[in-house]
A and B are shown apart, each in its own frame.
Chain A
Amino acid sequence: MFEARLVQGSLLKKVMEAIKDLLNEASFDCAHSGILLQAMDNSHVSLVSLNLRKEGFDKYRCDRNIVMGMNLTSMSKILKCASNDDIITMKAQDSADTVTFVFESPNQEKVSEYEMKLMNLDQDQLGIPETEYCCIIKLPSGEFARICRDLSQFGESIVISCTKEGVKFSAAGDIGTANIKLAQTGTVDKEEDAVIVDMQEPVTLTFSCKYLNMFTKATPLSPQVCLSMSPDVPLVVEYKIGEIGHIRYYLAPRIGD
């Protein structure tokens, strides 16, 4: 028996919005410690890694490990039926071919149940090694989304350049060039408003605008985003999911022609 109950059901709705444009389907690996999802996007350019710890759920039970292959378009349709203040429970029998979503209104007066067929997915799991990154940049997630959106008007790529002074985002294309510099902030009232650069070595890498913009669909999950960069390895874009876990996007850098 697998059962995971989340009083703050809106988090699950937001997680779905953050992955459904990148992935058509994905396996949810449910284990005693929590739920993991790891999948490459359809073009194998980026990787999504989602981690929801059991401690983050209001009730979590997983008697034996199960892998639930889900069509994310279908799951997204079902989660759209949940209100933002609904309590969401996911449950499945040990060797079931369906998963059930239960949505309870806060006053328990309305209870909806949706059963969805599971899929057999044969997905390549990638091993993500522990990496020491040269630059780790924390910035407000809304600011990052704004920068990606603004720069995507100029070209298909965004160059992210990190030095000890701060971080520079640039793009160039037919209409001209754009440069946005963010300096490290001094003291701020709210930690989530800060721009913090932890740099060992300066790094400049180029990434696809299209993918960065898709990652920013996770913005509602967290006020802060963390970018980790090293030369010649994928960028990591991480959003915390409340107290439950995190979503990480790995994007391979673009290579000059």
Chain B
Amino acid sequence: NMSQSLISSFFSPS
């Protein structure tokens, strides 16, 4: 079971 990371944790809100 692999967890899927959220994309928002990689890119800061502009």
Pair B13/A44 contact, Cβ less than 8 Å: no
B1-14, CB < 8 A from A? 1-14
Within 8 Å of chain B (Cβ to Cβ): is A239? no
Shortest distance in angstroms between B14's beta carbon and chain A's nearest beta carbon?
Answer: 4
Q: Is A206 an interface residue (CB 8 A)?
A: yes
Cross-chain pair count, CB within 8 angstroms: 60
Stretch of A53-61, A132-140, A246-254 with 4 or more beta carbons under 8 angstroms from chain B:
A246-254
**B6 to nearest A CB, angstroms?**
5
Q: Given the complex, which residues of B lie within 8 Å of A124, measured CB to CB?
A: 8, 13
Is A129 within 8 A of B4, CB to CB? no
> Contact: B14 with A252, CB < 8 Å?
no
Q: Which residues of chain A are near B6, meaning CB under 8 Å? A: 44-45, 252
A127 touches B13 (CB 8 A): yes
CB B10 to nearest CB in A, in angstroms, measures 5
Q: Quick check: is A46 within 8 A (CB to CB) of the other chain? A: yes
Whether the Cβ atoms of A40 and B7 lie closer than 8 Å is: yes
Given the interface pairs A257-B1, A257-B3, the reply to whether A125 lies near B14 with Cβ below 8 Å is: yes
Q: Give complex CA distance A19, B10 in Å.
A: 21
Residues of B within 8 A of A208 (CB): 4
Q: B2 and A254: CB pair below 8 A?
A: yes
Answer yes or no: A126 CB below 8 A from chain B CBs.
yes
Which B residues are closer than 8 A to A by beta carbons?
1-14
Query: Can you list 12 A-B pairs, Cβ within 8 angstroms, ordered by A?
Result: A44-B8, A45-B6, A45-B7, A47-B7, A126-B7, A128-B11, A129-B12, A157-B2, A233-B10, A234-B7, A234-B10, A252-B5
